[in-house]
Amino acid sequence: MHGAEIERLAQLLAKLPGLGPRSAKRAVLQLLKKKETLLRPLADALLKAADAVHECTICGNLDTTQPCYFCSDPKRDETAICVVEDVADLWALERVIDYRGRFHVLGGVLSALDGIGPDELRISGLVSRAKSETVHEIILATSATVDGQTTAHYVVDRLAGCDVMVTRLAHGLPVGGELDYLDEGTLNTALKARRAVDLP
Amino acid sequence: MQWTDDAIVLSARKYGESAAILHVLTPEHGRHAGLVRGGAGRRQRGNLQAGNQLAVTWRGRLDEQLGSFTVEMTAARASHWLDDPGRLGALTAAAAVVEAALPERESHPEVYGDFCALLDALDQDPEWARAYVRWELALLADLGYGLDLGHCASTGVTDNLIYVSPKSGRAVSADAGAPYRDKLLALPDFLRADAGGVPPDAAALTAGLVLTGHFLSHHVLEPHGGHLPPARLRLVDRLSLSATTSGI
């Protein structure tokens, strides 16, 4: 492959998730073959996104408006805030049509290995929001991992004194999960979180 | 090169798209790292949580290479305590302390055995925090910095021991330590050789953690440029908070 520009483009694309050096080169080739229909519109869209997309100062979501769509939409439930680790988790939860409350993106989990301490997470902002009279429930939707739950417990400690109900997502069987294929940890948490069934 | 051993997960960090670099504690090969292919994927990620017990096989072309692990879970410990902030805090603190304190690839079967006992205590012992403090004392002893809490360093008496010398790691009686009380560390009752079975309160447990933390920090970690891990500091904060409020 010749040309510093092509090499540079391939190197940058290879940094994206799901792309390695070879697949990045295939993507570059496709872009160059469809210069007018793909490459220029993509470059334009990237520039516009770089200029227009910002972190919401309230919840940490990525959006073109400030505050973001979730924080400014008056139709959303102001009394509940769902706390997630990352914007990707927010997008996943947004697919759940039963939840129409607001969100708060922590920006990661406590992790000594990655050098993420409490100061690197948006916990102070969450505590400020929880102190608001309109907020009644904080839903902790961090991962069911040691780091995710350690972060959740830390957030709970920080919310001490706030007049809110704190809940967390249930841990257990996934929909469509067959017991035989589940790991011991998932089965254990599912068993611990079993619920009574009403008899007819 | 290839070996198979039991292991306890200390940490796992995503590497590339789907792999993870796993750090484990094993009885025969000590603290050891290796690449787990697919370790960040859905099927393997749950197995690589701190505290889980695994059967691992390490392979590498040369002994000094990072090498790769194949793992099979033997006991899912981490999931037991996800809802329990105290026990989860103790687990993450223990894993972080072992990772910070032990040199890589140096066999420490006693440390592995003690870690297994700590995991059992977290599962079954209501006095898990006492077990944690004693585990750190045992770790210090295994690393060659054992504390002598049976006799007064100054007078040799065996009763009324309420201090520990921060330099020698030996107990000091109330009378001998009175002039230096500001410089000495507190020795909580439950760590004394003649301690009964009375469960310690949160304040005593915090004092115990301060004691072991001092020696871990000054003798084990700081000489190598390290510090007490954040997870360990958070455990002390949690117990300190309990000491000023209610239970653990």
**Interchain CB distance below 8 Å, B79 and A186:** yes
CB hemisphere CA count around A74 (13 angstroms): 0
Q: Does the model's ipTM exceed the 0.95 cut? A: no
Residue A128 resides in a domain: yes
Question: What tens digit of pLDDT does each residue of B17-41 get?
Answer: 889 999 999 999 999 999 999 999 8
Q: A184 to chain B: which residues are within 8 Å by CB?
A: 73, 75-76, 79
Closest CA to A145 of B36, B88, B239: B88
Beta-carbon contacts of residue A138 (< 8 Å; ≥ 6 apart) = A80, A81, A83, A126, A130, A155, A159, A162, A164, A165, A166, A167
- Please name the member of B17, B92, B230 whose beta carbon is closest to the beta carbon of A146: B92
Give, in degrees to the nearest 5, the angle at Cα B106 between B102 and B111.
Answer: 55
Q: Is A110 on the interface with B (CB under 8 A)?
A: yes
pLDDT band at B109 (very low <50, low <70, confident <90, very high): very high
Q: Is B96 on the interface with A (CB under 8 A)?
A: yes
Q: CATH 2.40.50.140: does it fit domain B2-76?
A: yes
Give me the domain span that covers residue A90: 62-168
Mutate to test the interface with B, among A111, A119, A146 (most CBs of B within 10 A): A146
**Is A114 a residue whose pLDDT tops 80?**
no
Q: B52 to chain A: which residues are within 8 Å by CB?
A: 185
Give, in degrees to the nearest 5, the angle at Cα A108 between A107 and A110.
Answer: 130
The alpha-carbon gap from A65 to the nearest alpha carbon of chain B, in Å, equals 31
Question: How many contacts does A have with B, using Cβ atoms within 8 A?
Answer: 63
The alpha-carbon gap from A184 to the nearest alpha carbon of chain B, in Å, equals 6
Question: What tens digit of pLDDT does each residue of A61-93 get?
Answer: 999 999 999 999 999 999 999 999 999 999 999
Instruction: Please tell me whether residues A138 and A47 are part of one structural domain.
Output: no
**Interchain CB distance below 8 Å, A112 and B231:** yes
Average model confidence (pLDDT) across chain B = 92
List the domain boundaries for chain B: 2-76, 80-149+187-247
Instruction: Please tell me whether residues A75 and A158 are part of one structural domain.
Output: yes
Quick one: pLDDT at residue A18? 87
**Is A25 a residue whose pLDDT tops 70?**
yes
Instruction: Please tell me whether residues A75 and A112 are part of one structural domain.
Output: yes
Q: Is B76 on the interface with A (CB under 8 A)?
A: yes
Q: Is B88 on the interface with A (CB under 8 A)?
A: yes
The answer to which of A17-21, A32-36, A69-73 has the lowest mean pLDDT is A17-21
Looking at the structure of chain A, the number of domains it has is 2
* Nearest C-alpha in A relative to B245: A160
**Is B245 a residue whose pLDDT tops 60?**
no
d(C-alpha B99, C-alpha B83), whole Å = 24
Quick one: pLDDT at residue A98? 84
- What is the CATH classification number for the domain harbouring A24? 1.10.8.420
Instruction: Please tell me whether residues A70 and A158 are part of one structural domain.
Output: yes
Q: Is A99 on the interface with B (CB under 8 A)?
A: no
Would you say A154 and A118 are in contact if contact means Cβ atoms under 8 Å apart?
yes
The alpha-carbon gap from B52 to the nearest alpha carbon of chain A, in Å, equals 9
Level-2 CATH architecture, domain B80-149+187-247: Up-down Bundle (1.20)
Q: Which whole number is the average pLDDT over B116-136?
A: 95
Question: What tens digit of pLDDT does each residue of B71-107 get?
Answer: 999 998 988 899 999 999 999 999 999 999 999 999 9
Instruction: Please tell me whether residues A75 and A39 are part of one structural domain.
Output: no
B95 exposed, middle or buried (CB, 10 Å; 0-12, 13-18, 19+)?
A: buried
**Is A193 a residue whose pLDDT tops 50?**
yes
Average model confidence (pLDDT) across chain A = 92
Would you say A74 and A100 are in contact if contact means Cβ atoms under 8 Å apart?
no
Quick one: pLDDT at residue B4? 96
Quick one: pLDDT at residue A36? 95
Quick one: pLDDT at residue A148? 95
d(C-alpha A107, C-alpha A89), whole Å = 10
**Interchain CB distance below 8 Å, A189 and B82:** yes
Residue A177 resides in a domain: no
Q: Which whole number is the average pLDDT over B134-147?
A: 95
Residue A187 resides in a domain: no
Instruction: Please tell me whether residues A73 and A153 are part of one structural domain.
Output: yes
Question: What tens digit of pLDDT does each residue of A143-171 get?
Answer: 999 999 999 999 999 999 999 999 999 98
Please, which contacts does B212-219 make with residues 24 or more away whose CB atoms are closer than 8 Å?
Answer: B212/B133, B212/B136, B212/B137, B212/B140, B213/B136, B214/B166, B214/B185, B215/B140, B215/B145, B215/B147, B215/B169, B216/B97, B216/B101, B216/B136, B216/B139, B216/B140, B218/B166, B219/B140, B219/B145
Q: Is A119 on the interface with B (CB under 8 A)?
A: no
Helix or strand holding residue B175 (H, E): helix B174-177
Residue A175 resides in a domain: no
Instruction: Please tell me whether residues A126 and A164 are part of one structural domain.
Output: yes
**Is A46 a residue whose pLDDT tops 90?**
yes
Would you say B92 and A200 are in contact if contact means Cβ atoms under 8 Å apart?
no
Instruction: Please tell me whether residues A74 and A36 are part of one structural domain.
Output: no
Q: B94 to chain A: which residues are within 8 Å by CB?
A: none
* Nearest C-alpha in A relative to B230: A112
Quick one: pLDDT at residue B248? 53
Question: What tens digit of pLDDT does each residue of B185-228 get?
Answer: 999 999 987 777 778 888 999 999 999 999 999 999 999 899 99
Q: Is B238 on the interface with A (CB under 8 A)?
A: yes
d(C-alpha A108, C-alpha B49), whole Å = 17
* pTM tops 0.90: no
Instruction: Please tell me whether residues A124 and A37 are part of one structural domain.
Output: no
**Interchain CB distance below 8 Å, A145 and B49:** yes
Quick one: pLDDT at residue A1? 57
**Interchain CB distance below 8 Å, B238 and A145:** no
**Is B246 a residue whose pLDDT tops 50?**
no
